[in-house]
Amino acid sequence: MKIFASCFALVLALVAGGASAQPFDGWYRLQTQFRGDGECLEGDQAASTTHNGAAFMNTCLNATSQLWMLVAQGNGLYRLKTQFGGDGECLDGNQAGSSVKAGAAFMNTCQNVSSQLWMPVAQGNGFYRLKTQFGGDGACLEGNQAASPDHNGAAFMRPCMNQTGQSWKLVKQAVVAQCTNQSPRRLDNWNTENALPTIQRGANDNTVIYTPNGGSPTTLSRCGQHYHCEIENLQPVCPGQSATGIGGPPGSCPSQPPVGSWVEVHTVFSATVGTTGCDPETLDCCTQGPFVVLGYHAKVTADQNPRAVPVVWNPGAAEWTGSNTGPDDAPGQCKPLQVKWRFSLGCDSTLSLGQLGTFHHQDRARGLQSADRLSTDLNLLTH
């Protein structure tokens, strides 16, 4: 990566090479002629274990990490950002010989570097080559096969050649109405620290006291408890945790979670609770708001002794306004229930296979929500 220089001559050379003057507005999927309409470029988290956190071609999914915006920087140059990463992350073209991400392209904090300035160069028939100011006219982004040994299957910069893996189609996506206060989210980058908590412990684990900002305390009753076989909210400080904008697992949960894996437990409270014909491992018994979710992460142990799954109240916790979770029913779904969350922070909780076996089913995970869909009241409680 190189800091911007006075490279007006390089810009002119790229323009002469056919760079597009077309304005790109809205969200796009990026597909290659090589991989066809079924695969899209995904901008993963840099810390992800998938392809070592590099950008890669994946099956086109209902994932905000596959929705790209080209943000004009002038002189035909653009930054490439995903809806998932928000305004603070940009695609970095890197260089093939770099030790960073094995030389693959990756999402990085937006910086004043020429490897994050992209020029789409029209090739005809709706296809483009994607070049960086750093790589110049001779290097093009290549959409690799996920199973390829080259750069661990990730997308990477390569000498421009007449091959379909370097021909990109930018597929415009329909504008989706603004959707806010969604969950799940990363549990870091706090908006406030130790602001007045809105959720307090009730007389026992079957009640909580909820006090909305500027409102009066209300006692809510437990209406359900369930767990997700893959985590939804992410604590970056917990070793071995990972979550993406896709969620998962694809298809269904395993018959039981692997020993040593992370699960996420949600205990739900509401103003009124259904008593007949409802499933307490869903939201069916939570009949009237306000709604509160107490959550925590736990590592799975091999003990087969069946016993109750506890409600955890760690002194360190995160509170925010969010939504119900679980896999989306339709692409880009906006979850309807407004929920106040209290998530106990920490990496030391465990649950045994015997405890998890007291549930009748597991739930899959919803993907992490993009920055524009999150509330701005994430509050860290340290005591």
Distance between CA 105 and CA 99 in Å, rounded?
Answer: 12
Its pTM surpasses 0.75? no
List pLDDT tens digits, range 254-278: 999 999 999 999 999 999 999 888 9
Name the band, by pLDDT with cuts 50, 70 and 90, for residue 4.
very low
List pLDDT tens digits, range 6-27: 333 333 333 334 555 457 888 8
CB atoms within 10 A of CB 110: 18
Name the band, by pLDDT with cuts 50, 70 and 90, for residue 49.
low
Sign of the four-CA dihedral 134, 138, 140, 145: negative
The pLDDT score that the predictor gives to residue 302 is 98
The pLDDT score that the predictor gives to residue 14 is 35
Kindly state the tokens that stand for 195: 């602001």
Contacts of 178 (CB under 8 A, 6+ apart): 372
Kindly state the tokens that stand for 57: 């071609």
Distance between CA 151 and CA 342 in Å, rounded?
Answer: 40
Max Cα–Cα distance, the chain, nearest Å: 74
pLDDT at 305 > cutoff 60: yes
The pLDDT score that the predictor gives to residue 352 is 98
Element (H, E) at 185: none
- Alpha-helical (H) ranges within the chain are 8-16, 353-356
Contacts of 11 (CB under 8 A, 6+ apart): 75, 76, 77, 133
Average pLDDT over the chain, rounded to an integer: 89
Phi and psi at residue 209, to the nearest 5°: -110, 120
List pLDDT tens digits, range 50-90: 767 789 998 888 778 899 999 999 899 999 998 888 778 89
Phi and psi at residue 36, to the nearest 5°: 80, -170
Q: Which of 135, 39, 131 is nearest to 96 (CA)?
A: 135
Kindly state the tokens that stand for 174: 């329909």
The pLDDT score that the predictor gives to residue 48 is 66
Q: Which of 342, 324, 341 is nearest to 333 (CA)?
A: 324
Residue in this structure with the two tokens 């809105």, named with its chain if needed: 198
pLDDT at 332 > cutoff 70: yes
pLDDT at 98 > cutoff 90: no
The pLDDT score that the predictor gives to residue 85 is 81
pLDDT at 200 > cutoff 90: yes
Alpha-carbon Rg for the chain, nearest whole angstrom, is 23
List pLDDT tens digits, range 102-157: 789 999 999 999 999 999 999 999 999 999 999 999 999 999 876 777 767 789 99
